[in-house]
Amino acid sequence: MMLELTILVSVALLACIVVLVFGCSCFGKSPPFKSFEDEPEDPREPYAESSGNQDGDNTSLVTFEPLPDILAKAIPSTTALRPRITCIATDEEDFTPRIVPIQQAFPRKQLTYITEMGMGWFGQVVQGVADNVLVGIRQSKVVVQVLRDDASALEMQKFLQEVAVYRAIDHPNILRLLGMCTEAIPFLVLFEYFPLGDLKTYLIENEKDIAYHKQRKILLRFAIDIACGLACLHRHNYVHCDLALRNCLVTNDLNVKIGDYGLSEEKFKEDYYDTGCDLLPVRWMAPETLTLQKGVWRTKPFTVQANIWSYGVTMWEMTQLCRQPYHWLTDEQVLEKVISKRTECLPLPYYAEDKLNIYELMKMCWREEGERPTIEELHKDLLNLQISLKYMEEVEFEKNWDLDNLEDSDESPPHETPLSSHSKYSTSQDLTTIGKLGDYPESSSSLAAASHQERFYNDLLERLSSTESYHLPLYDEPEEDS
C-alpha cells in the first residue's frame, strides 16, 4: 500500500513539472531594455501619440521609476534653499533697474562638451568649449548646466530662478553668466569656467602654502572680495541662502567670486543636515532662519541680517583653512546649542592675519539680529584692517633696513634717526595700538597713505552703488607714494 502511494505521488509531481514547462514555453518573451544609445522620444509628446502603436494591455504592465527621482534622494530637487540666491523685494517698486540686458539664446552648435564635472539636482554639470561666447575670443572654456529632459514644469521654473540673479547683476565678485539655451529641451546655462574651483577645495589643496597666503594677506583679500560681492547682492535686494566657501569660486588671479555650479550638495554632503525633506547647512545658518515644527526643522525667510551671520561663519571657516564650523558637535547638537539655546560660539581662529581684530568682526556678525553690522560696514572695517597691516609691514621693513645700515657702518650719522621715532607710537606699541581698526599714526607718510586709501575706498563705494554695468578694480595693495 505504501509503495503504491509513493508511485502515485511521484507520477503526479512529474505531471505538474511537465505542465509547468509547457506553459512557460507558450508565453512570449519580454522585449529587452531599450539601449541608452537609441534615439529618445520627446518626453513632452502626448501620451496617445507615443503609445498608439503599442498593445493596450502591455503598456500598463510595468512602470519603472525614472532615474531623476532616484537621484533626488541624495540631491533634493525641491529644497527650501532654492533658488540659492533669492530676491527679497516685496513689490515691483523694490526692484532695482537691470544692470545687464537679457542675453539672447546661445547657438547650441557652437558648444563642444569635454567632460562631465558632476551631478546637481537639475541634471548634469559639464565642462565644455564655446565658440565666440566672449567678444574677441574665438573659443572659451565654459561650465554648462544641463537640465534633465524629463524635468517637470516646476523644476524648469526653479532651474531658471537659480540663474535669475546672474542675469540681473554683472559684478567682478559674482559669477558671470555667459549665455542660455532655453528655446528647446534640454535647457542649458553657460557660466565662466575657473580651473581652481571652489574656495573650499582650493584652500584644502593649498594648505601647505599657508605661510605664503599669510605673507601676502591673501585670506584677508578673499574676505574682502566676498564682502564686496555680498554688498552688491544686498544693494540689489538679493540674499544668499547658502553662503559658504564651497559656494564661492577662485579666479585664475586669486580673486573670489560668489557663485557655484550646483555641485555643493553632492560634493560636500557632510556640510548639510538631512531633515528628510531638505538638505540644510545648519552650521552656517543664523538661528532666526530655523524653526522646529512637529519634530522637523523648517526654514524661515532669509534676511540681510541672516546673511551677515553666515558671512561671519564663512570668515571663520576660511581663517581655519576649511575646518568645519562646530566640528566638535554633531548636527543635532548644533541645532540644540547654537540654534535653539545659543550657548555655543566659534572660538578664536588660528591662521588669520591679525586674528584678534578679525575675530572681533566675526563676533559682531553673531550678535542679535537687529544689532549686526551691515556688509558695507564690515567691508570698510576689513579695508581699514588691510591698510593698517600694510602700514605695519612698511614700518617693520624700514626699521630693519635702518638697523642693517647701522651695522654696516662704523658709526651712524648724527642727524639720522630710525623712522619709527617719527611716529606718535613707540615700537612696542605698534602691534597693540596701530593694529586697531581705523587707527593710524600721525606721520606725514602714513597720513598720505591713509588719505590715498580713503579716496580709494570712497571711490569703491561709489562704484558699488552704481546701477550701471562696470568692473571694479581688484583689491591689490595700494601703490606706495613716491
205 shares its domain with 163: no
459 in any annotated domain:
no
Tell me how far apart the alpha carbons of residues 128 and 117 are, in angstroms, rounded to a whole number: 10
Q: Are 335 and 297 spatial neighbours (Cβ–Cβ below 8 Å)?
A: yes
In 3D space, the residue among 312, 308, 196, 305 whose CA is nearest the CA of residue 257 turns out to be: 196
Domain match, 363 and 280 both:
yes
φ and ψ of 114, to 5 deg: -105, -55
Distance CA 176, CA 191 (A): 6
The CATH number given to whatever domain includes residue 299 is 1.10.510.10
List 198, 225, 242, 278, catalytic entry = 242
Domain annotation covers residue 388: no
pLDDT at residue number 192: 97
Same domain, yes or no: 207 and 149:
no
H helices of 30-151, in order, are 47-50, 67-71
Give pairs for 4-12: CB < 8 Å, separation 24+.
Answer: none
Please give the pLDDT value at position 18. 64
Query: How crowded is residue 336: how many other Cβ atoms within 10 Å of its Cβ?
Result: 14
441 in a structural domain:
no
Return d(Cα 24, Cα 30) in angstroms, integer.
12
Q: Is 242 one of the catalytic residues?
A: yes
Of 157, 257, 125, 249, nearest in space to 198 by CA? 249
Closest CA to 219 of 382, 395, 460: 382
- Return the closest-CA partner of residue 198 out of 146, 264, 142: 264
Residue 437 burial by Cβ neighbours in a 10 Å radius (0-12, 13-18, 19+): middle
- Closest by CA to 165, choosing from 81, 248, 88, 238, is 238
146 and 245 inside one domain: no
Same structural domain, 176 and 222: no
Say yes or no: 207 and 316 in one domain.
yes
| 3-state secondary structure string across 93-113 | HHCCCCCCCCCCECCHHHEEE
**129 inside domain:** yes
Residue 455, CA distances (Å) to 119, 200, 460 in order: 46, 33, 8
Boundary (domain end) residue, out of 192, 214, 239 = 192
Instruction: Output the CA–CA distances (angstroms, integers) from residue 279 to 2, 151, 264, in the order listed.
Output: 69, 20, 11
pLDDT value for 394? 73
Is residue 249 within 8 A of residue 175, CB to CB? The reply is yes
CB 222 within 8 A of CB 352: no
Q: What pLDDT is stored for residue 428 in this prediction?
A: 30
Q: Tens of pLDDT along the chain (482 residues)? A: 555 666 666 767 677 676 665 655 554 443 332 322 333 334 333 333 333 344 434 433 333 233 333 333 335 454 667 889 999 976 554 444 444 444 568 899 999 999 999 999 999 999 999 999 998 899 999 999 999 998 888 889 899 999 999 999 999 999 999 999 988 899 999 999 999 999 999 999 998 887 777 777 899 999 999 999 999 999 999 999 999 999 999 999 999 999 999 999 999 999 999 998 889 999 999 999 999 998 899 999 999 999 999 999 999 999 998 999 999 999 999 999 999 999 999 999 987 777 889 999 999 999 999 999 999 999 999 999 999 888 887 776 666 665 655 555 555 444 433 333 333 323 333 322 223 333 333 333 334 444 444 454 445 445 444 444 434 333 344 444 44
Q: Is residue 230 a part of any domain in this protein?
A: yes
Shared-domain flag, residues 136 and 208 = no
Q: Are residues 227 and 372 in the same domain?
A: yes
pTM of the model: 0.68
What is the domain range of residue 350?
199-378
78 in Cβ contact with 235 (< 8 Å): no
The span from the CA of 230 to the CA of 224, in Å, is 10
Give the SS3 label for residue 133.
Answer: strand
Render 229-247 in DSSP notation, one character per residue: HHHHHHHTTEEETT-SGGG
| End-of-domain residue from the set 192, 208, 224 | 192
pLDDT value at position 62? Answer: 33
393 occurs within a structural domain:
no
- In the chain, the number of structural domains is 2
Kindly provide the residue ranges of all beta strands, DSSP E only, lying in 135-270, ordered along the sequence. Answer: 137-147, 177-181, 188-192, 238-240, 248-250, 256-258
The last residue of a domain, from among 167, 192, 217: 192
As to burial, measured by CB atoms within 10 angstroms (0-12 exposed, 13-18 middle, 19+ buried), residue 143 is buried
Q: From CA 357, how far away is CA 352, in angstroms rounded?
A: 9
Tell which phi-psi region holds residue 400, choosing left (phi > 0), alpha (psi between -120 and 50) or beta. Answer: alpha
- Co-location of 219 and 363 in the same domain: yes
Q: Looking at the structure, do residues 225 and 166 belong to the same domain, yes or no?
A: no
Residue type, 468: E
User: Is 87 in a helix, a strand, or coil?
Assistant: strand
Cell of 425: 607710537
Q: Does 236 map to a domain? A: yes
Query: Cell triple for residue 341?
Result: 539655546
- Sign for the CA dihedral angle at 293, 296, 299, 305 comes to positive
In a domain, 113, yes or no: yes
Report pLDDT for 355: 83
Contact 128/142 with Cβ under 8 angstroms? yes
- Residue 102 is part of a domain; what is its CATH number? 3.30.200.20
Write down the pLDDT at residue 104. 63
97 and 120, same domain (yes or no): yes
Q: In terms of Cα–Cα distance, which of 394, 388, 454, 385 is closest to 422?
A: 394
Whether residue 176 is found in the same domain as residue 250: no
DSSP 273-305: EE-SS-EE-TTTS-GGGEEEETTEEEE----HH
